[in-house]
């Protein structure tokens, strides 16, 4: 169900995304894998996922 999907975004130093935990959300999984590979800014990824119907995206540092 859509209510049971979520993503947690990780960054070690700086703002680039270094990892993500994604549950029951295939589109977010693809987006975060690409973002980790290209070291995309974590806030940018969170904004994209929020625009994809997320109720909340949790950044973890």
- Is the distance from CB of 15 to CB of 42 less than 8 angstroms? yes
Question: CA 35, CA 31: separation in Å to the nearest integer?
Answer: 6
Mean pLDDT within 38-54: 88
Mean pLDDT within 20-35: 96
Q: What is the model's pTM?
A: 0.77
For residue 58, what pLDDT is reported? Answer: 61
pLDDT, tens digit, for every residue of 1-21? 557 888 999 998 778 999 999
Higher-confidence position of 12 and 31: 31
């Amino acid at each position: 169900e859509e209510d049971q999907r979520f993503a947690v975004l990780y960054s070690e130093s700086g703002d680039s995304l270094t990892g993500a935990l994604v549950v029951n959300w295939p589109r977010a999984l693809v987006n975060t894998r690409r973002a980790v590979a290209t070291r995309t800014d974590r806030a940018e990824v969170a904004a994209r996922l929020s625009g994809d119907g997320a109720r909340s995206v949790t950044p973890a540092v």
